[in-house]
Amino acid sequence: MLASRCSIRRTAYSIIGSARRSFTVTPTRLAEEVRIVEVGARDGLQNERNSIPLHTKLELIQRLATTGVRDIEAGSFVAPKWVPQMANSAEVLNHILGHPPEAPHHIAYNFLIPNLKGLENLIRASGDGNPSSEEAPPTPPPSPKPEGEEPAPITSTEDPNEMPSSTSGVDNPVEPAKSSTTPFSVEISLFAAATEAFSKANTNCTIAESLERCKPIVALAKSRNLRVRGYVSVALGCPYEGPNVSPSRVADITATLLEMGADEVSVADTTGMGTAPRTQELLKALSSAGIANKDLALHFHDTYGQALVNAVVALEYGIRTFDSSVGGLGGCPYSKGATGNVATEDLIYCLHSLGARTGVDIEKMAEIGKWISSELGRPNDSRAGKALLARLAS
């Protein structure tokens, strides 16, 4: 634990008058390993307006694999109609299976799955046979919508995850390269929202209905020995309901995902509205619900510049897994104004300064942040990355 070795409380007297004052001396904390989940290649890219070539995505993943990170979000099997940047995720998966990026150790490549059809598409694209499972019940139908209203993202009445045949990988599935010595695995993630308004806007269903839809996904994933990661969106602020999201509701949703079989749940400040006091309140609620820190990850966006502050609060509370995005890439398509995730370079610099170990090469990550920002024609939002590269160049 990053536990304090001592806490020294002293008293002193003011030079002016006899009023007594007190202060605390906080010592350096002990180092401990912290796991970084790099989300730049999925969450970081999904909100970019200009189309990103497949080769750029693949090169980003290949570069990230060399840095020491052990978890990389690589794509999403969401309907291309709603998130066009993820339309070639099947090709990304095929490339990883056929040509695993060189890496110093095992890497888990994660793909976001919106519904049962999405998981079936992933299984087909991986060439893993018939995706059907007797253990997995059918996905419940979407909630009724007002006449003339566009279907909500992900739950369209069309095939919500239909991929172009040229990118699906179904006809010509690629088996893992036999000559590769790089160990890797493929995992999935699924999501629920912490507010009814965001759930309706994002998935066209209530929170309870979205959790019901998660059950067959988890069942099928487990039948295929796939690790499952859950997300709880807008846990510290909602674009529709405001910043005061119920911590107990977040805890209930998180517990439900874990109980149905999720291996880990990432609690996400999707809008970046979180503050240190509210982050602490949320962590207390999660703990009171009996949820162990080892089953949690925290996912902070930096819209209001509070992501690192909130991460340190979570670190002090015992959280040891954090999501971040190289170069501060990101945003949320369904949360206007939300800026990127906390930059991986900034988070690593902060963690290392506190004595924590991440196993990630911050110089390599800074170079990648500079490169991908240039490729996308956007500013590099990592302050630590830019400062580090400037210092190395001097």
Q: What residues act catalytically? A: 332
Task: Quote the CA–CA distance of 383 and 392 in Å, as a whole number.
Answer: 14
- Which has the closest alpha carbon to 253: 192, 320, 197, 206? 192
Residues 144, 112: Cα–Cα separation, whole Å = 25
Q: Are 360 and 68 in contact (CB under 8 A)?
A: yes
Residue type, 32: E
Half-sphere exposure of 236 (CA within 13 A, CB side): 30
Helix (H) / strand (E) containing 371: helix 362-376
Q: Is 382 helix (H, G, I), strand (E, B) or coil?
A: coil
Give phi and psi for 297, each to the nearest 5.
Answer: -135, 155
**Selection from 348, 291, 278, 361 nearest residue 319 by Cα:** 291
Q: Where on the phi/psi map is residue 74: left (φ > 0), alpha (ψ -120 to 50), or beta?
A: alpha
